[in-house]
Amino acid sequence: MKLNKYISYLLKIIYGFIVLNFIYYTINSEENLNNFKSIVENLEVSSYLLISIVIILQFINWTIEAIKFRYILKKELEITLKDSVKAVYIGNATSLFTPDRIGNFIGRFLYFKKVKKTLITSSTLLGNFAQLITTLTFALLSSILILNVKTAIKLPLINHNIILIFTGLLLSFFIYLYFNPKYYLKLIYKIKWIRKHKDSINYLQNFNKKESIIILLYGYARYLIFILQFYLLLNAFGLSISILETLIFSGLLYLFTTLIPSPFMGNLGTREYMSIILLSGYKYPEIALLASLSIWVVNIAIPSLIGSYFLLNMNKNKTQV
């Protein structure tokens, strides 16, 4: 086990080195530096308006996540939307320094101090599971569209049909598990420390198909916001791209971002690396890097700062749920 752990760390270091070097040389190319400077200097009033809308969409995005979290919890616990929003933002702060941002449940049970940690954790993981299915759904749609729509989006060295088949099989498997929780619960109950908290987790079986679909719809709503944010930013920075092409780009981008573990906080690096590759067929592919970094700042860095503020100023009476 230790050997596998060391190998995993080594692979992450190598991957991180490759990604950082790729991004560094992309940024430091004389031509790209001039392009970056030109993009920033020539931003119009309309561009600043689009960027402002992207920032506003961040608040809508995380409010929807809070609504989803509250909806899942209501089977066992009634919480206010205000408390749910605060817990979600604090979760953003604690997830920033965990691999692939899996530590969002930590901030949530820090906020709800008197609630069983297993209840908060299992509710968060169910929400994350629904979001994974959402990501794979749009990845499958993107894989179909890229084979049938004329676009400059590229997937070098990867056969599009393989991506389509792989994504379709993976999505089918996860959807089956999602709507049949007794099967994955039976597996995780084999882990001794989880089995001890069986009573706190069993409620995940109590969602009927309608309720499970509603949870998924919240995930789809969030994903549509991601697509719109990328579309607005790419166009704000001067890359002429259609909403359909943005859907294809976002679907493939988030697929690889999900599948490839990032050694950096908040998946920083992987998203930027894949953005440049996917949009390398466009006239100014370096805009992809600028847009992707902006997405990271808006959707991850800013919410993490807001969450840190809530964490430092928690009212103890409010956390005694």
- What are the extents of the domains in the chain? 54-315
pLDDT at 173: 93
Q: How far is C-alpha 191 from the chain's CA centre?
A: 27
Tell me the average pLDDT across 200-213. 84
Report the SS3 class of residue 103: coil
Percent of all residues in the chain with a pLDDT value above 70, rounded to a whole number? 75
Say if residue 113's pLDDT is above 90: no
* pLDDT higher at 170 or 287: 170
| C-alpha span between 320 and 225 (Å, rounded) | 33
Lowest mean pLDDT among 3-7, 18-22, 135-139: 18-22
Instruction: Check whether 271 has a pLDDT greater than 60.
Output: yes
Q: What is the pLDDT of residues 229-246, one digit of tens each?
A: 999 999 888 888 899 999
Instruction: Give just the sign of the alpha carbon dihedral 298, 110, 315, 66.
Output: positive
Q: Compute the mean pLDDT over every residue in the chain, rounded to the nearest whole number.
A: 80
In one-letter notation, the amino acid at residue 41 is E
What's the pLDDT at 268?
A: 57
Going by C-alpha positions, the residue among 59, 58, 56, 81 that lies closest to residue 69 is 81
Residues 46-103 have pLDDT tens digits of: 888 999 999 999 999 999 999 999 999 998 889 999 999 999 999 888 877 666 566 6
The C-alpha atoms of residue 256 and residue 153 are separated, in whole angstroms, by 14
Which range is least confidently modeled, 188-197, 241-250, 264-273?
Answer: 264-273
For tokens 């791209």, the residue is 241
